[in-house]
Amino acid sequence: MKQNKPFLKLDIQFFGEGSKVTLFELQQNLVTIGQQLQKTEQELSKKAADPAATTEEIRALQSSKEDLRMRYNIIEKQKNEMEADIKEKLISKEGTLDALDPKEKIVKAKADLIRATIRNASIAPDVRQALGDDSTTNGNKFLPKTVSNDIIAEPYVKNPLREISMVTQISNLELPKLAYTLDDDGFIQDKETAKELELTGSTVAFGRHKLKVFAGVSETILNGTDTNLVSHVERALQSGVAAKEKKVAFATSPASGEEHMSFYSTQNAIKKVAGKTKFEAILLALADLAEDYRENATIVMSYLDYISIIKDLSNGSTSLFGVQPEQVLGKPVVFIDAAKQPIVGDFSYSHFNYDIGILYERDKDVKTGIENFVLTAWFDHRIKLHSAFRIAEVSSSAPTV
């Protein structure tokens, strides 16, 4: 009967009061009991065939076998019930946000937001939660997100100015024009900066200017995969936002109320520096900047203007066409075709700010049947210091360099 002692130990381990057994533990216990049962059955077969074995030994093994079989059946039943319960819970969660990994969860939440908006349905709380939203933000975190794209569409608009300008999303934003000050205003060596601060004050306040972007969504895309839907709408919205940002920043005839957003507006009155050629004008404009601004300066110009400069400098040779623009002009160059005249300066003083409140609506083009997912946002573009920039222009009357 020595062989029965381990079974008594197992009995306490498996069925002790208050124990909470996991599915993994049940599976391990089932394997252990199964091995003991198989071993006991083999020993019983040997004893039954051994003429020297006593009846008591055979009965003891038979009793152990029945005991192990009972334990095995109990544990197997518990395991099956637990597996069925887990499977049922998984099925009930299938298709819900909780059943997805974090990346899929965000994509599905965005897709649910788009579909709910277009279908005039309420947005589920778990969708808002997945987007990091609450009752005050109304899903505004949707806009800056990006997901992988696998849908064929026309080229999307980008705004390279974003890479060198400041971009924030703060309500009622007000900032100092200079990043630091001293107790003596005489530390400002640039007279134009000092004059500007005296005339316009040392802070800049951002306003609210409405921006509406329409993302056309066909029925096929709406009923397609979450990834395709989110990618199409997201990139369309970002393209619309980028196009608007470029439009206001480089408008030669700004819309009423948007004059302060343009580098070329008479309201900002950014100083123009002339040269006989575009190349000379850019060099003179850089030289005219105060040292601190020139140190961090970037040149924003159209690619056509740059090609014109290279053509003039190369004098028929192709050697300059393979040279980096920064090596030619001496400062980093950003190509934006909307820049009708080259702008040089420290673009950290160019600042886009979006108000936290963002609205989602729907609209339908009755002529095409296309549904529009509409984003309404409020933004502002401020040139915090006009003296940090120069506009390079060509003039035949400019002095020779």
pLDDT in tens, the chain (401 residues): 344 443 333 333 334 444 567 777 888 888 888 889 899 888 888 888 888 888 888 888 889 989 999 989 998 888 888 877 777 665 555 555 555 667 777 888 888 888 888 887 877 777 777 776 655 555 555 543 333 333 334 567 788 998 999 988 888 888 887 654 544 454 445 566 766 666 566 688 899 999 898 888 888 888 888 888 888 888 888 888 899 999 999 999 999 999 999 999 999 899 999 999 999 999 999 999 998 899 999 999 999 999 999 988 887 666 777 789 999 999 999 999 999 999 999 999 999 998 877 788 888 877 777 889 888 889 999 999 888 999 999 998 777 76
Q: Where residue 223 sits, what CATH number does that domain have?
A: 3.90.1690
| Residue 247 domain-assigned (yes or no) | yes
Tell whether 44 and 150 lie within a shared domain. no
Note if the pTM is more than 0.95.
Answer: no
| Residue 52 domain-assigned (yes or no) | yes
Question: Are the beta carbons of 168 and 356 closer than 8 angstroms?
Answer: no
What does the block give as tokens for 27? 């599976």
Tell whether 283 and 206 lie within a shared domain. yes
Say what the pLDDT of residue 209 is: 92
Tell whether 41 and 150 lie within a shared domain. no
Tell whether 186 and 293 lie within a shared domain. yes
Tell whether 80 and 8 lie within a shared domain. yes
Say what the pLDDT of residue 317 is: 64
Tell whether 355 and 217 lie within a shared domain. yes
Say what the pLDDT of residue 218 is: 84
Dihedral (C-alpha) 273, 276, 280, 283: value to the nearest 10 degrees?
-10
| Residue 336 domain-assigned (yes or no) | yes
Domain C-terminal end among 93, 127, 158:
93
Which sign, positive or negative, has the C-alpha torsion 167, 169, 170, 172?
Answer: positive
Tell whether 295 and 152 lie within a shared domain. yes
CA separation for the pair 263, 267 (Å, rounded): 9
Contacts of 269 (CB under 8 A, 6+ apart): 386
Tell whether 373 and 283 lie within a shared domain. yes
Look at the block and give the residue holding tokens 């939660």. 129
Terminal Cα-to-Cα distance of the chain (whole angstroms): 111
| Residue 33 domain-assigned (yes or no) | yes
DSSP assignment string, 100-162: S-HHHHHHHHHHHHHHHHHTTPPPPHHHHHHTT--TTTTTGGGTT---------SPPP--GGG
Helix (H) or strand (E) holding 350: strand 350-354
Domain count, the chain: 2
Tell whether 87 and 157 lie within a shared domain. no
Domain C-terminal end among 34, 59, 93:
93
Please list the residues that pair with 351 across neighbouring strands. Answer: 166, 382
CA separation for the pair 268, 385 (Å, rounded): 9
| Residue 45 domain-assigned (yes or no) | yes
DSSP assignment string, 365-376: ETTTTEEEEEEE
Say what the pLDDT of residue 140 is: 54
Q: How far is CA 288 from CA 98, 184, 189, 244, 282, in A?
A: 59, 25, 13, 30, 10
Tell whether 74 and 219 lie within a shared domain. no
CA separation for the pair 144, 241 (Å, rounded): 11
From start to end of 218-312, where are the E strands? 272-275, 298-301
**Could you tell me which of 149, 303, 159 has the C-alpha nearest to residue 240?**
159
- Residue 44, CA atoms < 13 Å, CB-side half-sphere: 16
Tell whether 88 and 191 lie within a shared domain. no
Print the domain residue range for 177: 143-401
CA separation for the pair 253, 26 (Å, rounded): 76
| Residue 251 domain-assigned (yes or no) | yes
Q: How far is CA 193 from CA 177, 269, 305, 383, in A?
A: 10, 13, 29, 13
Say what the pLDDT of residue 18 is: 46
| Residue 136 domain-assigned (yes or no) | no
Look at the block and give the residue holding tokens 């309500």. 171
**Could you tell me which of 26, 115, 105, 121 has the C-alpha nearest to residue 72?**
26
Tell whether 88 and 175 lie within a shared domain. no
**How many residues are there in the chain?**
401
What does the block give as tokens for 193? 């900066």
What does the block give as tokens for 357? 């409140």
Domain C-terminal end among 63, 93, 123:
93
Say what the pLDDT of residue 5 is: 40
| Residue 252 domain-assigned (yes or no) | yes
